[in-house]
Amino acid sequence: MATVFEKINGDDKIFSGAEYIHDSLLFNYIESARFTDKFDLYSDHKNSVILIPHTGSRVWIWTSSAIKTDTVKLIDICRFLMNTGIKRPEIYLKHEVSENFSDLYAVTSADFGYVVKDELSLAAMIYEGTSPAAEHDSEGIIHIDKNNEEHVRLVTEFYQACREEFHWYDNFEAKVRNYLDMQLYAYVKNGRMLANAVIGGHTDDYIRLKSIAVLADERRKGIGYKMCCYIIDRILACGQKPVLYTHEKNAAAMALFKKTGFRLYDKIYLIKTDDID
């Protein structure tokens, strides 16, 4: 059956629509992907945009409120996703469509050998504070260079130490290379990386703080706060505003980001899938 979705680029009319322009998902993968070649965008040119990555399993969906309960259109999206061939997709979408979409996706995914494994609520947060530069110095924080052998060693050893926590049982080297390709900053002390931060998702107005990671035995020492303040200041210096997504039930992360000046802006829904046993 022919799909209602066509591949689009950055000048599609959907991007100039009032609802899209004012939607909280403006500062996510979908908007930043318009300026990269790592994703393909598909749309019905009216009510929905679907981001399909060239590698990996993270799929982002933007929909207008018009199809919140439009079962036919939601089924079309489910079918389209099934035909992409993405293994064990992680699907991010707006909270307001999540309930209807989840039920439909759970049914259709079974026909393709997948099952919905987990459903999570993510907090979309925007920074509303002022520059925190005066609170913490940047001593020990470096920008990782993937062509620097010492930096590669630091990154590899850091993620080796986090391997069990992150459940990185397969393709460890590939995952380390992926982090080395990102805009990665690290806090280093005595030749050991104790924490790092990743930024990305640049748009005209926003830069996304993608993650803050601290070694388990170095937590509750203020390192995560120091890294967060440093990254916030770097983003503000570019004339843009920091944004991020984090699991609502991650109390430690929510407390850290609120302490540094982020506030809850909206919620995003995440559906994780797995192969049927």
In a domain, 63, yes or no: yes
- Residue 194 buriedness (CB in 10 A; 0-12 / 13-18 / 19+): buried
Residue with tokens 């939607």: 23
pLDDT above 60 for 138:
yes
What's the number of domains the chain is made of? 2
Say whether both 18 and 58 belong to one domain.
Answer: yes
Q: What does the pLDDT read at residue 139?
A: 86
For the segment 66-101, what is each residue's pLDDT rounded down to a tens digit?
Answer: 898 899 999 899 889 888 888 888 999 998 888 888
For the segment 190-226, what is each residue's pLDDT rounded down to a tens digit?
Answer: 999 999 999 988 888 899 999 999 999 999 999 999 9
| Domain-terminating residue out of 71, 94, 125 | 125
Say whether both 252 and 163 belong to one domain.
Answer: yes
Q: Could you list the residue range(s) of the whole structural domain that residue 89 is in?
A: 6-125
- For residues 275 and 113, the answer to whether their CB atoms sit within 8 Å is yes
pLDDT band at 55 (very low <50, low <70, confident <90, very high): confident
Burial 140-166 (b: 16+ CB within 10 A, else e): bbbebeeeeeebbebbbebbebbeeee
272 φ/ψ angles, rounded to the nearest 5 degrees: -105, 140
DSSP string, 213-266: EE-GGGTTSSHHHHHHHHHHHHHHHTT-EEEEEEETT-HHHHHHHHHHTEEEEE
Say whether both 113 and 217 belong to one domain.
Answer: no
In a domain, 109, yes or no: yes
Whether the full predicted model's pTM is greater than 0.75, yes or no, is: yes
Say whether both 166 and 205 belong to one domain.
Answer: yes
Say whether both 170 and 220 belong to one domain.
Answer: yes
Gap between the Cα atoms of 112 and 133, Å rounded: 51
In a domain, 134, yes or no: no
The CATH number of residue 167's host domain is: 3.40.630.30
Gap between the Cα atoms of 78 and 175, Å rounded: 28
Say whether both 114 and 152 belong to one domain.
Answer: no
Say whether both 147 and 78 belong to one domain.
Answer: no
